[in-house]
């Protein structure tokens, strides 16, 4: 367990750093760490766009009034980070959904325009107490995989089905699907003052999520008191390789915020109606998710996520010409490669590639040069994955990565 601490793994792999000059709880991601984040973002974006989602971009600050209308100012209280300009007072955004309501409100909508689906991976900020900050699991700058859908009541169930499919697809490619259970997070009926919105809307939302759970056979366990500020939710709780449970993906129905912001669309009857807002996150916070992934895989990330995907080692300087040519061929395929020059023993260089948790390894020697072939090995266990003609092996490796295989 100690050896699988994400902080230790990240230091070995060189994924992020912290600076006293920048501040605690504000991670600085290196090129390698950023590569992992970008690959996660690309995966989520592609899956979401297949279901009609569109990328949006919002600023990192807003007037406090925005969060007073949404109800978040009261919820977060002292956790709001204030920004004072010469002309106005702002707060660093603690959530993204209120900004997205304003993009929706910018242009008139009719029922023909709905559903509207916005997605964005962007930072939000909380003024966490210094003693509670640690590694990437508790930070002040949180990059959230966020999505908000504005739809009619008749469209709610189909949109939730779509999100559930994205969640299944995303976690299947990580080998985590099936090691999970689902929570139906509802209100704490003894403390209704903690929530916004109308009683009838809450009941409709909770009933809808129960029906979705039944129809998709999610077997959601009812968890009173775990609802969001504005509505109930389906939370997906995954078990990692260390046996720990993490709440990661979530689907939330919100009748309240569209009403508070007076959002509308013109219905088929020519009258104004209020849309329903569905909040969704697939991996949640990138920082927390990355910490979980590193510990789950003990740093041996799937090749599609790994900062360096393959190591190339010539046995001696005599074979560097071929190994450097192979490096260039790999780069042309879009494969992230590190070349280990023959300035140390082969065993030491292989050991270094294992320390860096590089998924694949190719060693170039006399047989490879003579036959013009290669063996692509799994670096973790030394098993041969692809063998033979160079072009064929590179095509197979490229497909392995593009298909996001484990």
The model carries a pTM of: 0.93
The tens digit of pLDDT for each residue in 129-164 reads 776 677 788 888 999 999 999 999 999 999 999 999
The tens digit of pLDDT for each residue in 93-116 reads 999 999 999 999 999 999 999 999
| Three-class secondary structure assignment of the chain | CHHHCHHHHHHHHCCEECCCCCCCCCCEECHHHHHHHHHHHHHHHHHHHCCCCEECCCCCEEEHHHHHHHCHHHHHHHHCCEEECCCCEEEECCCCHHHHHHHHHCCCCEHHHCCEEEEEEEEEECCCCHHHCECCCECCEEEEEEEEEEECHHHHHHHHHHHHHHHHHHHHCCCCCCCEEEEEEECCCCCHHHCCCCHHHHHHHHHHHHHHHHHCCCCCEEEECCCCCCCCEEEEEEECCCCCEEEEEEEEEECHHHHHCCCCEECCCCCEECCEEEEEECCCEHHHHHHHHHHHCCCCCCCCCCCCCEEEEECCHHHHHHHHHHHHHHHHCCCCEEECCCCCCHHHHHHHHHHCCCCEEEEECHHHHHHCEEEEEECCCCCEEEEEEHHHHHHHHHHHHHCCCC
The CATH T-level fold of domain 2-296 is BirA Bifunctional Protein; domain 2 (3.30.930)
- Across 324-334, average pLDDT: 97
The tens digit of pLDDT for each residue in 84-93 reads 888 888 999 9
**Quick check: do 2-296 and 310-402 share a fold?**
no
- Across 61-72, average pLDDT: 91
Residue spans per domain, the chain: 2-296, 310-402
pLDDT of 77 reads 77
The tens digit of pLDDT for each residue in 353-380 reads 999 999 999 999 999 999 999 999 999 9
Out of 3.40.1010.10, 3.40.50.300, 3.50.50.60, 3.40.50.800, select the CATH number for domain 310-402: 3.40.50.800
């Amino acid at each position: 367990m100690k050896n699988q601490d994400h902080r230790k793994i990240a230091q070995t792999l060189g994924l992020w750093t912290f600076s006293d000059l920048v501040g605690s709880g504000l991670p600085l991601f290196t090129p390698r760490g950023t590569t992992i984040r970008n690959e996660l973002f690309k995966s989520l974006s592609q899956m979401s766009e297949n279901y009609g989602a569109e990328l949006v971009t919002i600023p990192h600050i807003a007037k406090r009034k925005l969060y007073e209308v949404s109800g978040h100012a009261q919820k977060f209280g002292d956790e709001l980070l204030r920004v004072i300009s010469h002309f106005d007072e702002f707060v660093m955004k603690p959530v993204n959904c209120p900004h997205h309501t304003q993009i929706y409100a910018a242009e008139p909508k009719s029922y023909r325009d709905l559903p509207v689906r916005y997605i964005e991976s962007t930072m939000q900020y909380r003024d966490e107490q210094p003693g509670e900050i640690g590694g990437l699991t508790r930070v002040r700058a949180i990059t959230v995989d966020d999505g908000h859908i504005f739809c009619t009541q008749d469209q709610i169930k189909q949109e939730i089905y779509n999100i559930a499919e994205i969640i299944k697809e995303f976690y299947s490619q990580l080998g985590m699907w099936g090691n999970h259970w689902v929570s139906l997070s509802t209100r704490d009926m003894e403390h209704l003052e903690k929530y916004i919105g109308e009683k009838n809307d809450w009941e409709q939302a909770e009933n809808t999520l129960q029906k979705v759970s039944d129809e998709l056979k999610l077997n959601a366990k009812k968890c009173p008191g775990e609802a969001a500020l504005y509505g109930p939710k389906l939370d997906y709780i995954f078990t990692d390789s260390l046996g720990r449970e993490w709440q990661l993906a979530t689907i939330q129905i919100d009748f309240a915020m569209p009403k508070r912001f007076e959002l509308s669309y013109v219905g088929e009857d020519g009258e104004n109606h209020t849309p329903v807002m569905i909040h969704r996150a697939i991996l949640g916070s990138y920082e927390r998710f990355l910490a979980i992934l590193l510990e789950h895989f003990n740093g041996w990330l799937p090749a599609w996520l790994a900062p360096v995907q393959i190591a190339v080692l010539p046995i001696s300087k005599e074979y560097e010409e071929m190994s450097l040519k192979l490096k260039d061929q790999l780069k042309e395929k879009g494969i992230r490669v590190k070349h280990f020059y023959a300035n140390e023993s082969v065993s030491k260089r292989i050991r270094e590639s294992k320390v860096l948790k590089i998924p694949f390894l190719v060693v170039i020697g006399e047989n490879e040069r003579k036959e013009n072939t290669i063996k692509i090995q799994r670096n973790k266990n030394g098993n041969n994955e692809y063998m033979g003609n160079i072009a064929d092996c590179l095509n197979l490796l490229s497909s392995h990565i593009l298909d996001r295989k484990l």
